[in-house]
Amino acid sequence: MRPGAAELRRFSLKFMYSFNSTQIFSFMSFVCTVMFPAMNIQAKDDTKPTKPRALHDLVDQPPIRIRYSPGTGEDLVISFSSIGRRRAEMPPDEFLGTVLSNTSRHALFISDLSRSWLNNKEFRKKLESTVQTVIRETGATRVTTLGLSLGAFSALAASSLFPVHAALAISPQFSMMPGAIKGERRWHYWRKQIKAFEVETAEVAPPPAQSFLFHGMIDDQAHMQAFTQREGLDQFAFPGQSHSSLGRHLRDAAVLPGLLSAAIAHDRRGVARLAKSCGGQWRNSVAHPSSQK
């Protein structure tokens, strides 16, 4: 005989109460990591929308996919995806929870099947025209970009296509050009697919009005130091974190929603406070210890 709803409910409660809160949290983290690997970069939300937000396909023409979620205000947030896990598949949308937690913000989610670091002409042309149309139709007055790795590079370089008020870049590469970063051998497969480097580095003109960069010091120090220090660019180094672990580290620290809000507001102190709360340090204090104040 199959158990009834009451019996199943009592069994579930008895099972859950047999574990402490730490064990339950670890189990749920395992389930989320194993069953939903493509969503690993998404943040724990400080706040969640009162109802699910719709996502509409504006463009779904490989190599580009652009999905849109309408907001009610004058901010547009653009999330660029990283390379994803399967070469033949479109990279999944990233930072969904972080971006959609504030219902007043219009949102775009951008994926590049060619993983071109903005060097694919077709991708770049469609991205520019679509974003310009969304800005015009929504009346957005501030555009904020964010991303991880490939997405972070794109978030910075996108300002060459449309005005970027603020960019939040986690583990950005400085350049994918062979020889640009001495000893760099990662992303070899995707680097070979780029036939011409029209976007040579993430430093483009004009740059975002304000950029916040986050680097894992285990393997991204060379990329961090390649960026020119200038007004409007804040860099944070994370000792003990790598290129691939830093996004998960920030997600697990539950700081991503706050970092995005602070970046949109150009709240440099707010960004620094949140970065330092989970182990981040100003670039100079790590790269040049003698310069600490």
pLDDT in tens, 192-240: 999 999 999 999 999 999 999 999 999 999 999 999 999 999 999 999 9
From residue 273, give the alpha-carbon distance in Å to each of 210, 235, 293: 17, 13, 16
278: left (phi over 0), alpha (psi -120 to 50) or beta: alpha
Tens of pLDDT, residue by residue over 249-284, are 999 999 999 999 999 999 999 999 999 999 999 998
Q: Does position 3 have pLDDT exceeding 90, yes or no?
A: no
Tens of pLDDT, residue by residue over 145-179, are 999 999 999 999 999 999 999 999 999 999 999 99
- Percent of the chain at pLDDT > 90 equals 78
Q: Give CA–CA dist 134/5, Å, rounded.
A: 49
**What pLDDT shows up at residue 192?**
94
Average pLDDT of span 7-17: 39
Average pLDDT of span 66-76: 97
Q: Does position 12 have pLDDT exceeding 70, yes or no?
A: no
Q: Dump strand ranges (E) for 173-225.
A: 211-216
Q: Domain spanning 57-176+184-291: which superfamily?
A: Alpha/Beta hydrolase fold, catalytic domain (3.40.50.1820)
3-state class (DSSP) for residue 241: coil
First-to-last alpha carbon distance for the chain, in angstroms, is: 72
